[in-house]
Amino acid sequence: MQLERASGVLLHPTSLPSEYGIGEIGGEARKFINFLEKGGFKLWQILPLNPVGYGESPYQSFSAFAGNPLLISLDCLRKEGLLSRRDLADAPSFPKNKVDYPFCREFKSRMLRQAYLKFKSKGLPSSDFAEFKERNLFWLEDYAFFMALKERFGNIPWNYWDKSIALREPLAIKFWEERLEEEVNYHLFLQYKFFSQWQNLKEYATEKGIRIIGDLPLYVSYDSSDAWVHSHLFELDEAGYPLKVGGVPPDYFSPTGQLWGNPLYKWEEMAKNDYLWWRERIKVLLELVDVIRLDHFRGFEAYWEVPATEKTAVKGRWVKGPGEKFFSVITEYLGDLPLMAEDLGFITPEVIELREKFNFPGMKVLQFIDREPFPASVTDEGNWAYYTGTHDNNTLLGWYEETILAQLEAEHREKWRENICWEFIELLYQSRAQWVIIPLQDLLELDAGARMNIPGTVGGNWEWRFQKGDLKRKIAKKARSLQQKYAR
């Protein structure tokens, strides 16, 4: 994929304002798209849209295919007649600047169940609903069944369920399918509504000239419908427990590395049916987004394998990934795909060769200029995206205060300029990079308190939200002037 000069904003939908505790894909999402249009932006980058699991992380999801029901717009359900104003009038007072996941989940689950009952009373087998189920046969029923079982067993990981159903014995599957039919239908309804609402939002973005960049994590969570249903594709023992898990060795973020705990793939097994699971996963995501960012791209060339018994990622080893064969097969089936590579961290010549062979744009991050060639000095054609920071970084202002200013002698700190964020942003705009992506926190000039995630930690992450009124006209005007000045 060859990029054309453009700029965009990184913002996950959970960070949008709403009255119901978490960002939703309704009216406020459209207002954000309007802001992008006014600012001359052509790109909206998001994190994975899947239902969040451990640590509320979008990278630890219950499914590599499903959408996050917490993002469903309650106001849109009300307009459909599935909720009433009276239903929503009882909404508690949620924090405005962060997501309180347990608090929010309790309220939204109650509302979504009410909407389902109204939907059911109108008749489940509508033609649109039937078509949605037919189109998503590969994953949808399995996911809905998995979630119904998960709730039935108190939300514990699937390997702790009754052994017969954990190991998917046919009689156990029949037994539970009969008893959980209603719960399964509820989860089918949630996915139907999520995908319907997101498609409406994506069409709106397209009308406004905004392309959406989605995120495809390399790994899936162990506690997921994917690992439960397709256990033969993962490094699991006969009882379903992980044998080897993913992570990265000691790096900038952590002296003991990052132990993600995701089960590793049996790539040779996946190759037997030409990576069908991956092909279906990419097809579903491309219904939701225009471009896919391949998270942890280097893992396709070689990945860090850690025994599941280890407490840190230190005692791991590099293992060759599927590499060129994988992308050749995927391309053979799906054609040339709009893929870009997250090629940050420990990158070898082999990783660069793989990326360049398939012409995948890469990434560079301003906050990493002490460890990578400064992009202004790069002489390639600029087929990469340049970020002030990613969801794993500090905010630009937080980084400047804690890293740059902290290293200066007191008398030099008076050189601090209030518009330092915009000076850095302009540096990116005038660079050779075809794409420039700015986290919204940096456009708003927010400090470290607005950080989205601190890698290697659990708790307090993925919570940040901006508030109504933050997207001021002067910010859009300032951004648009930069787009015009530097032909983006």
| Contact yes or no for 29/63 (Cβ under 8 A) | no
> Which of 15, 190, 16 is closest to 119 using CA atoms?
190
Question: Mean per-residue pLDDT for 34-54?
Answer: 97
Question: Mean per-residue pLDDT for 34-49?
Answer: 98
Beta carbons within 8 Å of 380's beta carbon, 6+ residues apart: 432
Structural domains for the chain: 6-485 (3.20.20.80)
Q: What is the mean pLDDT of the chain?
A: 93
373: pLDDT confidence band, cut at 50, 70 and 90?
very low
> Which of 87, 88, 90, 83 is closest to 115 using CA atoms?
83
| Contact yes or no for 233/270 (Cβ under 8 A) | yes
- Residue 453 pLDDT greater than 90, yes or no: yes
What is the model's pTM? 0.94
- Residue 430 pLDDT greater than 50, yes or no: yes
State the catalytic residues. Answer: 295, 342, 392
pLDDT tens, residue by residue, 2-31: 899 999 999 999 999 999 999 999 999 999
Q: In what order do the strands lie in the sheet with 43-45?
A: 339-341, 291-294, 211-216, 43-45, 6-10, 435-439, 384-387, 362-365
